[in-house]
């Protein structure tokens, strides 16, 4: 029996999952395929194959079921297994059913065109129920067995009555999925400040948290309009060079520290990790810019030289305990010696 081919399949909204292909003729990138889903079949396009797909699957970690709906479950190793089996990434259990035909493509395109109207109807229903939610997107499963609606909301939303209305309207299984604003931007796509497609919607595999400290470490402006993306959150790109800044700053003295240099006491005002320079300010307020290497030499030269330990006088020599002369006899010992001689 031949080894199945592992492939990454991409769906609408930057959604992807991993599947197995058991036919002899291998799949290639951009091949349209029909895959197994939770309840039926779905349509997608092959995004990666072979070694690249294997690496992505290992990094994914939770792709075990290979589900088309991202509700994948990780296959856990059985107790008592060896360490290698525990480290081995879960393997996808769902399969690519077949290559998609021209008719399958046309059906998928018709579904994509109808989803705008679906989203509009869902918004009307949500407004009628008085729900504070923003409907971001709607996605049909290829066989129309499920309709997934994505929305954002500031608080938890009780949409049970809405689900019942939508199920009776569209005559299919309804899934409402609440997502964050960063996930919404990744799903809908857009153009970033750099003029290119959003990283989260094109190639970024994981949306890691971004804190304000990351911007501070890079000495960036803390103006939210300058360091935020279309989603209103801090730019994902702030993390790309953060480690470089952290490691580079370790070579420099901290800002505000007072150093003893060739010109006396000077305070560190700013550093430039690209030019390897440090801006100093003297006590009289005079600033100067000095290279990091030259500053280190000044600090070392201005450091006080430790005084050498005082040597013992030449006439005094230490004598080991075992070679020292015996102690002189005391008066009490002399008297005992005299009494013994008289007794003799």
Q: What is the mean pLDDT of the chain?
A: 84
Q: Is the model's pLDDT at 316 over the cut of 50? A: no
Q: Are residues 89 and 135 in the same domain?
A: no
Q: Are residues 128 and 211 in the same domain?
A: no
Q: Are residues 143 and 69 in the same domain?
A: no
Q: Would residue 23 count as lying in a domain?
A: yes
Top-confidence residue, 288 or 330:
288
Q: Are residues 10 and 75 in the same domain?
A: yes
Predicted local confidence at residue 305, as pLDDT: 61
Which of 246, 272, 290 is the last residue before a domain boundary?
Answer: 246
Q: Is the model's pLDDT at 66 over the cut of 90? A: no
Q: Would residue 316 count as lying in a domain?
A: no
pTM for the structure as a whole: 0.70
Q: Are residues 94 and 17 in the same domain?
A: yes
Q: Is the model's pLDDT at 259 over the cut of 60? A: yes
Strand-pairing partners, residue 259, are 266
Structural domain boundaries enclosing 212: 184-246
Sign of CA dihedral 86, 87, 88, 93: positive
Q: Are residues 277 and 230 in the same domain?
A: no
Q: Are residues 26 and 68 in the same domain?
A: yes
Which of 147, 179, 211 is the last residue before a domain boundary?
Answer: 179
In three-state form (DSSP H/G/I as H, E/B as E, the rest C), the secondary structure along the chain is CCCCEEEEEECHHHCEEEEEECCCCCCCCCCEEEEEECCEEEEEEEEEEHHHHHHHHHHHCCCCCCCCCCCCCCCCCCCCCCHHHHHCCCCCCCEEEEECCHHHHHHHHHHHHHHHHHHHHHHHHHHHCCCCCEEEEEEECCCCCEEEEEEECCCCCCCHHHHHHHHHHHCCEEEEEECCHHHHHHHHCCECCCCCECHHHHCCCCCCCCCHHHHHHCCCCCCHHHHECCCCCECHHHHCCHHHHHHHHCCCCCCCCEEEECCEEEEEEEEECCCCEEEEEECCCCEEEEEHHHHHHHHHHHCCCCCCCCCCCCCCCCCCHHHCCCCCCCHHHHHHHHHHHHHC
Q: Are residues 210 and 279 in the same domain?
A: no
Strand order in the sheet with 146-152: 134-140, 146-152, 173-178
Q: Would residue 31 count as lying in a domain?
A: yes
The count of domains in the chain is 4
Q: Are residues 174 and 208 in the same domain?
A: no
Top-confidence residue, 82 or 20:
20
* Cα 280 from Cα 201, distance rounded (Å): 44
Q: Would residue 330 count as lying in a domain?
A: no
Which of 48, 75, 100 is the last residue before a domain boundary?
Answer: 100
Q: Is the model's pLDDT at 186 over the cut of 70? A: yes
Q: Would residue 29 count as lying in a domain?
A: yes
Q: Is the model's pLDDT at 36 over the cut of 90? A: yes
Q: Is the model's pLDDT at 168 over the cut of 90? A: yes
Q: Would residue 50 count as lying in a domain?
A: yes
pLDDT digits (tens, 9 = 90+) for 97-110: 999 999 999 999 99
Q: Are residues 21 and 69 in the same domain?
A: yes
Q: Are residues 34 and 75 in the same domain?
A: yes
Q: Are residues 111 and 166 in the same domain?
A: yes
Q: Is the model's pLDDT at 311 over the cut of 60? A: no
Q: Would residue 334 count as lying in a domain?
A: no
Q: Is the model's pLDDT at 137 over the cut of 80? A: yes
Q: Which CATH number fits the domain that encloses residue 167?
A: 3.30.300
Q: Would residue 324 count as lying in a domain?
A: no
Cβ 185 vs Cβ 230: under 8 Å: yes
Q: Is the model's pLDDT at 75 over the cut of 60? A: no
């Amino acid at each position: 029996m031949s080894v199945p081919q592992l492939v990454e399949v991409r769906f609408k909204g930057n959604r992807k999952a991993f599947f197995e292909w058991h036919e002899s003729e291998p799949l290639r990138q951009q091949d349209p395929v029909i895959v197994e889903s939770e309840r039926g079949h779905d349509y997608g396009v092959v995004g990666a194959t072979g070694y690249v797909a294997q690496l992505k699957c290992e990094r994914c970690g939770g792709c075990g079921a290979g589900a088309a709906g991202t509700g994948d479950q990780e296959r856990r190793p059985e107790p008592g297994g060896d360490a290698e089996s525990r480290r081995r990434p879960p393997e996808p259990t769902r399969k690519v059913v077949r290559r998609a035909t021209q008719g399958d493509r046309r059906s998928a395109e018709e579904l994509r065109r109808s989803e705008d109207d679906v989203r509009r109807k869902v918004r009307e229903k949500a407004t009628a129920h008085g729900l504070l939610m923003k409907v971001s997107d709607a996605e049909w499963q290829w066989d129309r067995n499920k309709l997934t609606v994505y929305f954002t909301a500031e608080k938890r939303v009780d949409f049970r009555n809405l689900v019942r209305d939508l199920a009776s309207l569209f005559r299919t299984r309804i899934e409402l999925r609440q997502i964050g604003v960063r996930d919404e931007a990744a799903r809908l796509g857009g153009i970033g400040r750099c003029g290119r497609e959003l990283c989260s919607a094109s190639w970024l595999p994981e949306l890691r948290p971004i804190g304000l400290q990351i911007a501070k470490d890079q000495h960036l402006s803390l103006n939210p309009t300058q360091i935020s993306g279309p989603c209103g959150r801090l730019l994902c790109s702030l993390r790309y060079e953060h480690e470089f800044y952290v490691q580079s700053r370790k070579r420099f003295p901290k800002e505000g520290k007072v150093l003893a240099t060739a010109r006396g006491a000077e305070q560190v005002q700013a550093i430039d990790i690209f030019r390897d320079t440090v801006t100093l300010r003297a006590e009289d307020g005079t600033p100067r810019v000095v290279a990091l290497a030259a500053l280190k030499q000044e600090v070392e030269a201005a450091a006080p030289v430790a005084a050498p330990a005082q040597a013992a006088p030449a006439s005094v020599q230490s004598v080991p305990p075992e070679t020292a002369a015996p102690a002189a006899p005391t008066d009490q010992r002399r008297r005992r010696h005299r009494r013994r001689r008289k007794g003799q």
